[in-house]
Amino acid sequence: MHGLIYCLNTSTIRPAKLLDKIRVAGECGYGAIELWNDEMDEHLRSGGSMSEIVKALSDYGLIVPTVIAVHNWMTTHGEEYCRALDEAKRRMEQAAEVGAKHIVATPPVRAEGAFDMGMAADRYNELLELGRNIGVLPAVEFLGFSEVIYRVEQAWEIVKMSGARDGSVVLDTFHLYRGGSSLDDVPDLTGEFIAVFHFNDVPATVPRESLTDADRVYPGDGILPLHQIVRDVIGRGYRGAISLELFNRELWERDPKEVAQVGIEKMRAIVEGQ
């Protein structure tokens, strides 16, 4: 058995209301769902409550492996950094309410001045300390289109330089390809240090350097060697969530349940076809 948990990242059916997303994930057979802080905030602004979200998750038997996301922590300074930490604390506390073990910690997209990897590791340690007190640990994400942290080995280096045994990274098949890296670049990255595995494919029609999040397609509909990547991730001992994360506007216009159902079937075809 592969031991992976099929997960729906709610960005895949973004236009739907949050409680509908949870219902769809449960009805389609997912065991987990990745929530975004922004959509929980929107639910609260529209008169909803966190208890409604928690109850819906329980009703459909869904776990929340990760919440997205903490921003502006890596390269900001002064008052801006203090505000970033305050917001990170709020987002971590929200993640804790839905039972998440991790929260995604994103790098900046644009580089502003020289980048200091040592400072990034120190900042990550500060985030980890904040998270330990709350019960939600930050996981370093690399973004293939970032000018700062765009390869998996960079994210992994931050974790290693931090010296923290409870540090972790976010894997994403799109960002591996977009940033020109692969799991071969991190031979010492084992499953215990992977917080979540974002799963998607890319089309052959868009040059690698021009790909945006909106270009992501269903697993198996593109050109990525997903069978091999899944084998490698499982071979490293990872047994967590494999999360369908798309930002495809064409899919956003379709029925959310149909999109989620096709998604889990396509994931199963790859994961269980090993």
Percent of the chain predicted with pLDDT > 90: 97
Residue 114: pLDDT band by 50, 70, 90 thresholds? confident
Residue 115: pLDDT band by 50, 70, 90 thresholds? confident
Whole-number pLDDT of residue 264: 98
pLDDT at residue 3 is higher than 90: yes
Whole-number pLDDT of residue 274: 60
Thinking of the domain 5-271, which architecture would CATH place it in? Alpha-Beta Barrel (3.20)
pLDDT at residue 225 is higher than 60: yes
Whole-number pLDDT of residue 111: 87
Residue 36: pLDDT band by 50, 70, 90 thresholds? very high
Domain residue spans of the chain: 5-271
Q: Mind listing the pLDDT tens digit for each residue in 249-263?
A: 999 999 999 999 999
Q: Mind listing the pLDDT tens digit for each residue in 41-60?
A: 999 999 999 999 999 999 99
Please say whether the beta carbons of 226 and 219 come within 8 A: yes
Whole-number pLDDT of residue 199: 98
Average pLDDT over residues 57-65: 98
pLDDT at residue 22 is higher than 90: yes
Average pLDDT over residues 189-196: 98
pLDDT at residue 155 is higher than 70: yes
Average pLDDT over residues 138-150: 97
Calculate the average pLDDT of the chain: 97
In the structure encoding, which two tokens stand for residue 91, read together?
Answer: 């987002």
Residue 62: pLDDT band by 50, 70, 90 thresholds? very high
Average pLDDT over residues 120-139: 98
Average pLDDT over residues 74-100: 97
Average pLDDT over residues 138-151: 97
Whole-number pLDDT of residue 1: 56
Would you list the DSSP string of the chain?
Answer: ----EEEEEGGGGTTS-HHHHHHHHHHTT-SEEEEEHHHHHHHHHTT--HHHHHHHHHHTT-B--EEEEE-S-SS--HHHHHHHHHHHHHHHHHHHHTT-SEEEEPPPSS--S---HHHHHHHHHHHHHHHHHHT-EEEEE--TT-SSS-SHHHHHHHHHHHT-TT--EEEEHHHHHHTT--GGG-TT--GGGEEEEEE-B--TTS-GGG--GGG-B-TTSSSS-HHHHHHHHHHTT--SEEEE----HHHHTS-HHHHHHHHHHHHHHHHTT-
Whole-number pLDDT of residue 113: 77
Average pLDDT over residues 56-70: 98
Whole-number pLDDT of residue 223: 98
Residue 65: pLDDT band by 50, 70, 90 thresholds? very high
pTM, full prediction: 0.97
